[in-house]
A and B are shown apart, each in its own frame.
Chain A
Amino acid sequence: MVEKKTKIYLLFILPGCLFLAFFMLIPLFSLLFKSFLDEAGSFSLTNYFNIFGSTYFKQVFWRSIRLSLLSTFLCALLGFPTAYYISKYSKNKGVLMALAVFPMFTSPVIRSFSWMVILGKKGFVNEGLVALGIVDKPISLLYNEFSMTVGFIQLFLPLMILSLIGVMDNISDDLNLAAGSLGASRMAVFRHVVLPLSIPGLVTGSVLVFTGCLTAYTTPQLLGGTDTRVLATMIYQQAMSLGDWTQASVVAVVMIVITVTVTNVINYISRKLNPTI
């Protein structure tokens, strides 16, 4: 009886393990392994030297990093006061939370596409600018880094808001009151009580937004142009349009390395700084 019980777990975990090993792990290791093989089939770093020597890749790489950082920063900037308001002041918390979740449940195709309607040459932003006399004729607001950043922020801001609300809900109102009654100004309460206690949510949210932006495909595909490619659209272009599997593989490995490193390093640092979480 005891023997049977100690082995039965294998029956439960094995199907899932085999499935993931066969369809995910083996492909993943094949990707890594093959990316270190040169044309002759011997082990080398040639592919990596080639790609990091290419001006095109370097542009794409830094554009991805830059836009992801910018979007993360703007999400934090917009998300922080919003989450604080929802958590501490709002009377309709449930409704506001649901309204933040709704876009997350809506297809990224629809969400990116909506900006094509708004920012397009015939969109109302351009019509407004022309009507106000700010510009003579409609200007190009789409297919550039601006429209991509707008799309990224709209895509990932809800994640930041929800992460922040998660920690802010745990900040006791008594702390704010205590600080206030001891003479702290509202600014001081914010800087010395609210901000430090919200850091874990800010960190979680930032990691989610950053990795989300870095790996998003739909938004840069729809709102970016051919000269504003990012890592995700480059993988797709190399693999599907140009048939260059080697380059696509190397870019894919670079992307995995960045996301795994960012996630682990940031989580490690935040655990070091705040051992309670």
Chain B
Amino acid sequence: MKKSKSLFLVTVLVYVFLIGPLLIIMASSFSDTNFLKFPGEGFTLRWYGQIMQVKSFGSAAKNSIIIAFGATLIALILGLPAAYALNRYRFPGKELIKSLFLSPVLIPVIVLGFIMLRYVVNRYSLSAMPSLLIGHTILSIPYVMRVVTSSLANFDFSMEEAARILGAGNIYTFFHILLPNIKSGIVSACIMAIINSFNNVSLSAFLTRAGVSVLPIEMMSYVEYHFDPTIAALATLLMVITLGVMLVIEKTLGLQSVV
């Protein structure tokens, strides 16, 4: 144990650097001062009430949730059959198709936002919500693809055949044989995609408009003009939710399987 003293010290410092700033945000959300301060003064919960007073946060949070869940659902509808086909069938151009479905991770998100705005939204005069949904779906597809492909790789397709031979129809086979076997893969893909979409800034920065925004964008513009603990309270709230999600993942799937 003595041998690792210096390593231990570096690790502690690294974790203070990684987690410390987040704890500071949490602590300063209770500060009874009109501007953000650490260490804070006094104790108050009023900044948590103040979150509700900022009108744009409410609608932006609603949009963020709709987009995160909606985009993940569409990505699943598009990605799951494709992942299945790529594992199940042999056909020409398979590798190419696979890289197409994984390619959104290769394109910088900021560039994706820009080209979506210029060549999709402006060209077809799409309104904000559909364009945000489409953009976030593109981001979510690789998550679905990667995780579902790896759980399908462990799936024994002869089980599917056995079910068919025993007289099960395609739909029955899908819901009763395939789906239960890759369920945890799908759930972890969805969680990753939802978190990623919910936190996304670079893409949404191009696709939001006046009146139709998402939470991270609203938080960013709030920070540029106000420096009070409201934003720290909101950040704390989001971090507590994140912690809750992580705990649930750990208890059900194991955190290792998700990241």
Give A residues with C-beta under 8 Å from B: 5-6, 8-9, 11-13, 15-17, 19-21, 23-28, 30-31, 78-79, 81-82, 84-86, 88-90, 94, 96-111, 113-118, 122-124, 153-154, 157-158, 161-162, 186, 211, 214-218, 221-222, 232, 235-236, 239-240, 245, 248-249, 252, 255-256, 259-260, 263
Contact = CB atoms under 8 A, between A and B. Distances in A.
B225 to A, nearest CB: 13
A19 B199 contact: no
Given A117-B38, A162-B259, A85 B107 contact: no
A116 B243 CA distance: 23
Given A101-B246, A117-B28, A232 B202 contact: yes
B216 interface: yes
| In the complex, the 4 A-B pairs of residues with the closest C-beta atoms, listed nearest first | A114-B21, A27-B119, A12-B85, A215-B108
A260 B103 CA distance: 11
Contacts of A102: 19, 22, 242-243, 246
A107 B216 contact: yes
B82 A12 contact: yes
Contacts of A239: 114, 117-118, 206
B97 interface: yes
Nearest to A88: B4
Interface of B: 1, 3-4, 6-8, 10-11, 14-15, 17-19, 21-22, 24-25, 28, 35-39, 77-79, 81-82, 84-86, 88-89, 91, 97, 100-101, 103-104, 106-112, 114-120, 134-135, 137-138, 141, 195, 198-199, 201-202, 205-206, 216, 219-220, 223, 227, 231-232, 235, 238-239, 242-243, 245-246, 250, 255-256, 259
A26 B138 CA distance: 13
A117 B25 contact: yes
Nearest to B232: A117
A215 B24 contact: no
A27 B14 CA distance: 41
A15 B246 contact: no
Given A27-B116, A27-B118, A82-B10, 11 more contacts: A17-B82, A23-B138, A28-B115, A82-B11, A89-B4, A98-B246, A101-B259, A102-B22, A109-B199, A161-B14, A239-B117
A85 B39 contact: no
Nearest to A119: B21
B255 A97 contact: yes
A106 B138 contact: no
Contacts of A116: 223, 227
Contact of B84 (A12, A94, A96): A12
